[in-house]
C-alpha cells in the first residue's frame, strides 16, 4: 500500500510552495512532467518510518524545473508557474486530495500577495537607489583622493628633483639656499598634508589618526616654527637634509596611494613605500632634532615666543624649554610611528603572501 505524507501548499503570482511533513527525509525523488508533480522519499511521516509518495496534477501549466530543499523536519518544494497569475485552486481535479491542506504559515490571498510584491519592488528600488548613492560617494572619494595624492606627488617630486639638480650643478653651495628656493612649495605641500589628518579622522582612508597627527604636527612644527619664524635658520644646511629626507619618502608614498585608488599596485613601488622609511625615518627625525638644537640659542637670544609670567613671579620662560620638551616628544613620536609603520609593513606583506598562496 502506498503511503502519502501530509502536504501543505501556498502560492504567489509566480510560484507554488509545497511543504511535505516528513522528518529526516532521504532518497528524495521529485519531478514535474506534463504539469504533474511526482514525489517519492523515505522518512518519518504520519505512519512512522516508511516510503511515502504522492502525485499532483496542477490546474494550470507549470515549468518542468522544480527545486526542493529538505530540513530535518520537512521537505520544501517550489514549482514555477508557466504564466504569472493567481490560481483558484491547486489541482486539476476539483475535489482536493485528502493529504493536501493550505499552508497557513505562508498563506496569502491575492491582494496580500500583490502587496508583498509591491513591498519587495519598493525594497529593491530603495536598495538600488542607496547602492547608486554609495557608488557615487565611492567615485567622488576616489576622485578626491587621487587628485590629492597627485598634487602632493607633483609637489614633492618638484622639490626632490629641484634639490637633486641643484646639488649636481652647485655642489655644496646648494645646501645653503634650500629654504629660499624650496620653502614655498614645501609650505604648500605641508599645509595641504593636514587633509590627511581629516581623512583619517573621518574614515576617508583606513588608517589611524594619531600616527598621521604626529607626522603632520611634527613636520609643520619644524617647518613653520623652527625654519619659518627664524631667519637665522634659513641658510643652514640642515634645511637641505630635512627637506630632502621628507621628499625622498613622499615620491614613493603618494604614487603608491594613487595606484591604490584604482586597486592597482606595482610591486617594486609597494616594496619601496613600506621599506624606505626604515633608514629615512630615523634620519629625518635626526635631521629635525639637529634643527631644533641649532635653533635653541637663537630663540634664547631673540626671545621670540618667550612666555612672560605675571610680575609677581618676576621671570619669563624661554621658548627653548618648550623645545627641550619637544625633543623628548620627538623620540616618543619616532617610536610610535616607527612601530606603526612596522606593523603596516608586516600587515601589507603578510596579506600579500597569503593572497599569493
Residues annotated as catalytic (active site), given as ranges: 281, 288
Question: How many Cα atoms occupy the beta-carbon half-sphere of 319 within 13 Å?
Answer: 18
Query: C-alpha cell of 277?
Result: 622609511
How far apart, in whole angstroms, are the C-alpha atoms of residue 198 and residue 336? 19
How far apart, in whole angstroms, are the C-alpha atoms of residue 294 and residue 183? 19
For the CA atoms of 111, 112, 116, 122, the dihedral, rounded to the nearest 10 degrees, stands at: 60
Closest-by-Cβ residue to ligand LEDWP2DD is 284
> Could you tell me the smallest distance in angstroms from the CB atom of residue 158 to ligand LEDWP2DD?
17
> Could you tell me the smallest distance in angstroms from the CB atom of residue 213 to ligand LEDWP2DD?
5
> Could you tell me the smallest distance in angstroms from the CB atom of residue 148 to ligand LEDWP2DD?
6
How far apart, in whole angstroms, are the C-alpha atoms of residue 150 and residue 255? 7
Nearest to 9 by CA among 65, 87, 72: 87
> Could you tell me the smallest distance in angstroms from the CB atom of residue 88 to ligand LEDWP2DD?
58
In the block, residue with C-alpha cell 635631521? 287
Question: Which CB sits closer to ligand LEDWP2DD, 172 or 263?
Answer: 263
> Could you tell me the smallest distance in angstroms from the CB atom of residue 208 to ligand LEDWP2DD?
6
Question: Which CB sits closer to ligand LEDWP2DD, 5 or 211?
Answer: 211
Residue 315's SS3 state is coil
> Could you tell me the smallest distance in angstroms from the CB atom of residue 334 to ligand LEDWP2DD?
5
Judge whether 70 and 44 are in contact, CB under 8 Å: no
Question: Which CB sits closer to ligand LEDWP2DD, 161 or 331?
Answer: 331
Question: Which CB sits closer to ligand LEDWP2DD, 20 or 334?
Answer: 334
Tell me, rounded to whole angstroms, the distance of Cα 163 from its chain centroid.
37
Judge whether 156 and 247 are in contact, CB under 8 Å: yes
Pairing of strands 7-11, 100-102: parallel
Question: Which CB sits closer to ligand LEDWP2DD, 195 or 298?
Answer: 195
> Could you tell me the smallest distance in angstroms from the CB atom of residue 171 to ligand LEDWP2DD?
24
| CB proximity list for 217: less than 8 A, separation 6 or greater | none
| CB proximity list for 137: less than 8 A, separation 6 or greater | none
Backbone angles phi and psi of 16, in degrees to 5:
-115, 130
Q: Name the residues that contact ligand LEDWP2DD, by CB under 6 A.
A: 145, 149, 196, 205-208, 211-215, 217-219, 245-246, 249, 253, 257, 260-261, 277, 280-281, 284-285, 329-330, 333-334, 337, 341, 344
Question: Which CB sits closer to ligand LEDWP2DD, 43 or 255?
Answer: 255
Question: Which CB sits closer to ligand LEDWP2DD, 155 or 284?
Answer: 284
H helix count then E strand count, the chain? 8, 10
Local structure of residue 58 (DSSP, 8 states): B
In the block, residue with C-alpha cell 609603520? 341
How far apart, in whole angstroms, are the C-alpha atoms of residue 143 and residue 342? 29
Amino acid at each position: 500500500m502506498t503511503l502519502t505524507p501530509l502536504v501543505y501548499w501556498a502560492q504567489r503570482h509566480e510560484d507554488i510552495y509545497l511543504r511535505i511533513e516528513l522528518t529526516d527525509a532521504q532518497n528524495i525523488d521529485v519531478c514535474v512532467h506534463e504539469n504533474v508533480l511526482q514525489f517519492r522519499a523515505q522518512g518519518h511521516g504520519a505512519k512512522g518510518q516508511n516510503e511515502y509518495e504522492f502525485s499532483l496534477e496542477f490546474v494550470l501549466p507549470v515549468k518542468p524545473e522544480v527545486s526542493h530543499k529538505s530540513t530535518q523536519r520537512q521537505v520544501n518544494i517550489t514549482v514555477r508557474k508557466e504564466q504569472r497569475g493567481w490560481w483558484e485552486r491547486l489541482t486539476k481535479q476539483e475535489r482536493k486530495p485528502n493529504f493536501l491542506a493550505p499552508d497557513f504559515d505562508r498563506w496569502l490571498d491575492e491582494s496580500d500577495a500583490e502587496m508583498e510584491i509591491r513591498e519587495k519592488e519598493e525594497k529593491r528600488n530603495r536598495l538600488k537607489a542607496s547602492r547608486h548613492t554609495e557608488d557615487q560617494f565611492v567615485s567622488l572619494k576616489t576622485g578626491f583622493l587621487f587628485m590629492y595624492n597627485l598634487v602632493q606627488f607633483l609637489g614633492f617630486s618638484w622639490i626632490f628633483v629641484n634639490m637633486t639638480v641643484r646639488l649636481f650643478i652647485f655642489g655644496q653651495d646648494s645646501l645653503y639656499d634650500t629654504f629660499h628656493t624650496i620653502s614655498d612649495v614645501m609650505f604648500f605641500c605641508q599645509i595641504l598634508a593636514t587633509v590627511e589628518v581629516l581623512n583619517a579622522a573621518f574614515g576617508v582612508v583606513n588608517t589611524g589618526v594619531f600616527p598621521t597627527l604626529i607626522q603632520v604636527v611634527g613636520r609643520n612644527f619644524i617647518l613653520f616654527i623652527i625654519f619659518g619664524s627664524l631667519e637665522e635658520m634659513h641658510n643652514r644646511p640642515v634645511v637641505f637634509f630635512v627637506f630632502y629626507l621628507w621628499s625622498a619618502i613622499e615620491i614613493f608614498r603618494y604614487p603608491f596611494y594613487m595606484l591604490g585608488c584604482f586597486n592597482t599596485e606595482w610591486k617594486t613601488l609597494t616594496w619601496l613605500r613600506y621599506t624606505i622609511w626604515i633608514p629615512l625615518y630615523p634620519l629625518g627625525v635626526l635631521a629635525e632634532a639637529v634643527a631644533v638644537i641649532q635653533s635653541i640659542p637663537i630663540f634664547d637670544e631673540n626671545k621670540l615666543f618667550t612666555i612672560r609670567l605675571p610680575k609677581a613671579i618676576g621671570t619669563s620662560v624661554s621658548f627653548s624649554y618648550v623645545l627641550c620638551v619637544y625633543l623628548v616628544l620627538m623620540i616618543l613620536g619616532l617610536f610610535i610611528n616607527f612601530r606603526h609603520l612596522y606593523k603596516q609593513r608586516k600587515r601589507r606583506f603578510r596579506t600579500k603572501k597569503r593572497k599569493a598562496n
